[in-house]
Every structure is written in C-alpha cells, then in structure tokens.
A = this chain, B = another copy of it.
Amino acid sequence: MNNPIKIAVDAMGGDNSPNKIIKGIELHSLNSNNVFYNIFGKSDLIEPLIKKTSLAKSSYKINHTNDFIKDEDSPLAAAKKGKRSSMWLSIESLKKEESDAIVSAGNTGALFVIAKLNLNMIEKIDKPALSALWPNKTGMNIVLDLGANIECNEKNLIDFSYMGAALHKSLFEKEESKVALLNIGSEELKGNNVIKNTYQLLSEKTNSLFEFKGYIEGNHIMDGNVNVIVTDGFTGNIALKTAEGTANFITNELKQALNSSLIGKISSILNIKNLKRFKNKLDPRLYNGAILLGLDKPVIKSHGSTDEVGFANSLKVCEKIINGKLIEKIKKNII
C-alpha cells in the first residue's frame, strides 16, 4: 500500500469479540482503499478468524497480547493493571505514532481513562467531550457532550462547539456546520446562567468554521435545521438515551401492531420493502461510533453490543476523521 492511513483496533472489547471485530474489518476493507489495520488482542483467537476473510496480508498486523480489559472492570482498576491489555497497547500505538486513530468496542470508562493517561490534550482545551452521530430529517447531527463531563462552564461549551463543528466538517465536508445550544426555551431568557453566557459569547464571535444558530429545544433536535448540538454531559446523556428508549418503544409497539392479526401479517409482508427501508434509516448500526474529542489523537468508541456491520461503520468514522484532518481542524480553529 502507498502510505496508508493506520487504524489501531482493539479486537477484544464488546460482545462477541474478536469475531465481530475481524468481520467488521473485512466489511470495512471492501469499501475502503489504503487502510492498514493495527490489530491488538489474542493472536490464537484472531488468526483463525482472519484467515477466513478476504483481507490481504499486507493490510493488517496482529499485535499479540493475552490481556484485555473486562466490561465490569472499574476504569481506574483497568488503567492500573491493564498496561499489557489490548486496549492500552492500541492506544499506546497512537502515542508511538504507529497508528493514526484507535477504535475499541470495550469498556467505555476504561477507554477514556487510558486514553487520557497516554495522550495529550489539544492546547487551550480544558476538558475532552464525548460526541456521537444522531440522525435528523436531512442527514446527521453531531451531539456533544454525552457524558464525559457532568458539569460544564462557558469555556467548555464553547470548546465543544468548535470541536463538534470540526468533527462535523471532517465527516461531512460539503455541508455547512450549524451549531446550537440545547436549552429548554427558544427565547433568550430561559436556561441557566452558563447557557445564557455561552449564548452571548458565541453570538459575539464570528468564525469561519460554523454558523451559530442560538438555542434548540429537545423536540427540534431531529428537524435538520442545525447539525451540531452542544450541551453538558449530563443533559446530553439523558437526551440521547431518552431518544433511544423512545425509538425502541415505538418500533416495538409497531411490530406488535403489525403482527397482531393474520391480515396484518400478510399486508406487512406485502409492505416488507417499505418497512425495511424505514428500519434501515433508523438502524443504530449506521451511526455507530462515539468520538472522544479534545485529545491530540482520534479515539473512537464503538457500541459494545453492535455487530460487524456496526463495527465496520465505526471504522468508517475513523477513516473519515483521519482523512478529514479532524485534529488539525480543531487546532487551527480553537480559541
């Protein structure tokens, strides 16, 4: 390969790993060029799986280690005893500049603690934030913070705005980035002081990265009028999980309704193509991959329970972030 981008992959995290991880790598490789996978984990498990794939030998390296972080390990315990784990070593390969980004489907808390121990913060940024993709009517939102910081001040929310917009630009280079602050009223009067002050500061500054669109309420997140939604980690986490719960509730109710009679079942079969398209549009695997922003290397967290399709999509996020020069964009724009 000709100077490929290099993704460090923790092969041991999440449900059904390393099976789904290796299958995910294969899926991703089918639609990508010039990517090299630095795979970390138990080679006796990984080798036989990788032999069944169509992956070229030149496109990966298996870095063997027997240790891995368990889902139930506390982040601090994991960081203390996990220096030989697949997660630690894959993050360390960023520090050593052997990889350009890292993705893991393992223990979220441990990933963040180990990433923070090994990598530097980008200058002028106080706190890292967890961001994710969230579908809207016309495309995708970036939403942050989703739980890394329970309490945030004005500086943090402004940093999140710039980092979120830089991420948006890296992933969707042709779109204009439009930032809004999540709040409980669209009038300038509502919300707490931190939000009001942030609104004021973002309104006063102009920048070439994004347009500031003011406040947004929870019911308008998916309207598609803005695409970068900024909030503190507590509120963001509650909003994201409430949306997940609501989506699950509704799709379950729909399934029950459509299967509750013979004629219902028959007409659902007639309608199967349309229902599939509906299901596909809402498929959470399509936007799998949360991005830890603020460190000087890209750290991507795949959902632990996703399958190979979801994992392949988080590899796609890595690839776009590297090619879209996310870290450079943040460094260049942050104030």
Does B245 contact A218, Cβ atoms closer than 8 Å? yes
Q: Measured between alpha carbons, how far is A233 from B218 in the docked complex, in Å?
A: 13
> With the chains together, A96 CA to B235 CA distance in Å?
41
Residue of B nearest to A243 (CB): B246
**Could you tell me the distance between the alpha carbons of A253 and B263 in the complex, rounded to whole angstroms?**
23
In the complex, the chain B residue whose C-beta lies closest to that of A187 is B74
Measured CA separation A248–B224 after assembly (Å): 13
Asked whether, in the complex, the Cβ of A274 is within 8 Å of the Cβ of B264, the reply is yes
- Of residues 118 to 145 in A, which have CB atoms within 8 Å of B's CB atoms? 135-137
Which residues in chain A, 36-71, are within 8 Å of chain B measured between CB atoms?
none
B219 engages A248 (CB within 8 Å): yes
Partner of A239 from the list B239, B260, B267 (CB cut-off 8 Å) is: B239
Measured CB to CB, the residues of A under 8 A from B are 135-137, 147, 150-151, 182, 184, 191-192, 217-223, 231, 233-235, 237-254, 256-258, 260-261, 263-264, 266-268, 270-271, 273-275, 277-278, 281-282
Alpha-carbon gap, A137 to B253, bound state (A): 9
User: Looking at the complex, which one of B147, B234, B248 makes contact with A235 (CB distance below 8 Å)?
Assistant: B234
Chain B residues with CB below 8 A from A237, complex form: 184, 218
| Cα A282 to Cα B246 with chains together (Å) | 11
- How many copies of the chain does the oligomer comprise? 2
Contact partner of A246 (CB less than 8 A), chosen from B222, B270, B271, is: B222
A270's nearest neighbour on chain B, judged by CB, is: B267
Interface pair B239/A221, CB less than 8 Å apart: no
- Whether A257 pairs with B235 at a CB distance below 8 angstroms is no
- In the complex where A147-B184, A234-B184, A268-B267 touch, is A258 in contact with B245 (Cβ < 8 A)? no
- A223–B147 CA distance with the chains assembled, in angstroms: 22
The answer for the CA separation of A255 and B236 in the assembled complex, in Å, is 28
Give the docked Cα–Cα distance between A277 and B235 (Å): 33
Distance in angstroms between the alpha carbons of A74 and B264 in the assembled complex: 50
Interface residue from B235, B243, B250, B261 paired with A282 (Cβ < 8 Å): B250
Across-interface contacts of A268 in B (CB, < 8 A): 267, 271
